[in-house]
């Protein structure tokens, strides 16, 4: 397993803020299929993220995001209480 912290597609973001749409307790999971260009943005806490077809796993802290380079399912696990939202370049949408 490769682990990237502030490397690759994990970066601080100055994108438009979105309301935290998902609140996760410590060790709680969340999953969704992303389209190319959509971002999972960590609004608070610390999360681990993996995407199907990507050998690298990512750690996101508050203010950091992951941008999908391919369509596929992402799985996020909160390593501490956290909140996140999903964004893309055209709109900000609330995760279910």
In this structure, are residues 67 and 38 in contact, taking their beta carbons and an 8 Å threshold?
yes
Whether residue 72 lies inside any domain: the answer is yes
Where is pLDDT greater, at 20 or 69? 69
Cα 69 from chain centroid (whole Å): 13
Whether residue 78 lies inside any domain: the answer is yes
Number of domains in the chain: 1
Whether residue 60 lies inside any domain: the answer is yes
Whether residue 32 lies inside any domain: the answer is yes
pLDDT tens, position by position, 70-89: 999 999 999 999 999 988 76
Whether residue 61 lies inside any domain: the answer is yes
Which CATH number goes with the domain that contains 25? 2.60.120.10
- The pTM assigned to this predicted structure is 0.74
Whether residue 95 lies inside any domain: the answer is no
Q: Which domain holds residue 60?
A: 2-88
Tell me how far apart the alpha carbons of residues 35 and 95 are, in angstroms, rounded to a whole number. 13
């Amino acid at each position: 397993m490769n682990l990237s912290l502030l490397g690759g597609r994990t970066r601080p973001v100055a994108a438009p803020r979105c309301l935290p749409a998902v609140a996760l307790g410590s060790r709680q999971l969340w999953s969704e299929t992303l389209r190319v260009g959509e971002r999972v943005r960590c609004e608070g806490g610390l999360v681990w993220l993996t995407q199907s077809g990507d050998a690298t796993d990512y750690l996101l802290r508050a203010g950091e995001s992951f941008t999908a380079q391919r369509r596929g399912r992402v799985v996020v696990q909160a390593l501490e209480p956290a909140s996140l939202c999903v964004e893309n370049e055209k709109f900000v949408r609330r995760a279910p």
